[in-house]
């Protein structure tokens, strides 16, 4: 098995002839930056089927869907999407020829339906991130986490280059700073963590805005998934910008509040039936939104965690289907 990045520089001239099966894996790679359909990925899979290769789509999804279409998709309405007709025809042929197609969220399925796909052959598989399990290594024993006098919130902040719903990352950051101060006043401490190198600078900026080193700690280290899940296990709940942090929190059985900055976050919360635990980045009431959700988590923690466990177990079974049934042979 070989793994190749989905960017054009890697895929456009990649030799497909030596493979029996081409798998489009997890991630938001049915779409591409500022494009609802990723032409590079579709062209590669289309070439594969013309070479008589088997293809599989395993837990992939979409992201770059304009906010104006989001509510319409949530309500299962028809959209008039401006996408190249030839590209759509190729995409639908790829979907029809795939030996198994699993996508990570119901909004992705609804989008593909709007693009003319036969969704009867598309499975809601969830993201391969649902296969994550806590490891035995990488336990983190930071003094900030050992203090039992206060509950700790895990906060993941960073940047998406302001390519977000509302187009104003700094406004979100300023509102978050106020929200963290409110949470501290109610008895919490905040442990800030990052999942991407580029997230460190904006996290430092947010840390300085809160300006409370006694109750806020910024961890700039990039951990592997086992270390990260062991870290998250210390938190009462997490407040996350990046999608990866939400999956890690769910797999760690720790309730989350997702910051809904683009389509993929809404797709995720809908996939696990926790749509109330998302705060859109175009909200002007982020502080109030967080405080309301904190109360819901405090009151209904066991119910929320049980739902998370149930959804993860369901998706683990679905993600294993194409391999257990050897559909790739």
| Model pLDDT, residue 141 | 78
Helix (H, G, I), strand (E, B) or coil at 94: helix
Q: Are strands 188-193 and 21-24 parallel, antiparallel or unpaired?
A: unpaired
Beta bridge partners of 155: 192, 239
The tens digit of pLDDT for each residue in 195-248 reads: 999 999 999 999 999 999 999 999 999 999 999 999 999 999 999 999 999 999
Helix residue ranges, H only, 139-199: 143-146, 169-185
| Model pLDDT, residue 76 | 86
| Model pLDDT, residue 240 | 98
Question: Could you tell me which residues come within 8 angstroms of residue 207 by beta carbon, excluding any fewer than 6 positions away?
Answer: 192, 216, 218
Helix (H, G, I), strand (E, B) or coil at 216: strand
| Model pLDDT, residue 7 | 82
| Model pLDDT, residue 8 | 81
Regions of the chain where pLDDT drops below 70 = 138
Helix (H, G, I), strand (E, B) or coil at 2: coil
Question: Could you tell me which residues come within 8 angstroms of residue 2 by beta carbon, excluding any fewer than 6 positions away?
Answer: 19
b/e for 206-223, b at 16 or more Cβ within 10 A? Answer: bbeebeeeebbbbbeeeb
Question: Could you tell me which residues come within 8 angstroms of residue 77 by beta carbon, excluding any fewer than 6 positions away?
Answer: none
Looking up tokens 């559909």 gives 327
| Model pLDDT, residue 143 | 85
CA distance 289 to 326: 46
Looking up tokens 């929200």 gives 179
């Amino acid at each position: 098995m070989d793994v190749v990045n989905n960017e054009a520089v890697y895929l456009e001239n990649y030799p497909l002839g030596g493979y029996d099966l081409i798998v489009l894996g997890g991630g938001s790679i049915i779409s591409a930056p500022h494009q609802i359909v990723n032409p590079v990925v579709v062209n590669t899979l289309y070439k594969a089927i013309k070479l008589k290769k088997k293809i599989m789509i395993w837990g992939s999804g979409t992201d770059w869907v304009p906010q104006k279409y989001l509510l319409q998709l949530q309500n299962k309405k028809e959209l008039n999407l401006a996408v190249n007709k030839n590209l759509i025809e190729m995409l639908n042929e790829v979907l029809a020829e795939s030996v198994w197609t699993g996508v990570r969220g119901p909004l992705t399925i609804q989008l593909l339906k709007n693009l003319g796909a036969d969704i009867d052959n598309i499975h809601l598989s969830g993201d391969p991130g649902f296969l994550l399990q806590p490891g035995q290594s990488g336990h983190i024993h930071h003094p900030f986490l050992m203090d039992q006098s206060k509950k700790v919130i895990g906060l993941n902040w960073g940047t998406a280059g302001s390519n977000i719903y509302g187009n104003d990352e700094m406004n979100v950051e300023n509102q978050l700073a106020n929200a963290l101060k409110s949470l501290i006043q109610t008895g919490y401490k905040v442990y800030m963590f990052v999942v991407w190198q580029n997230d460190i600078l904006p996290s430092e900026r947010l840390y300085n805005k809160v300006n409370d080193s006694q109750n806020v700690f910024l961890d700039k280290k990039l951990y592997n998934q086992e270390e990260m899940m062991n870290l998250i296990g210390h938190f009462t709940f997490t407040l996350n910008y990046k999608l990866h942090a939400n999956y890690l929190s769910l797999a760690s059985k720790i309730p989350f509040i997702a910051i809904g900055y683009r389509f993929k976050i809404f797709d995720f919360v809908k996939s696990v039936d926790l749509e109330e635990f998302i705060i859109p980045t175009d909200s002007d009431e982020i502080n109030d939104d967080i405080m309301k959700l904190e109360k819901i988590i405090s009151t209904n923690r066991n119910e929320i965690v049980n739902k998370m466990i149930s959804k993860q177990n369901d998706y683990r079974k679905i993600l294993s289907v194409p391999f257990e049934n050897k559909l790739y042979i």
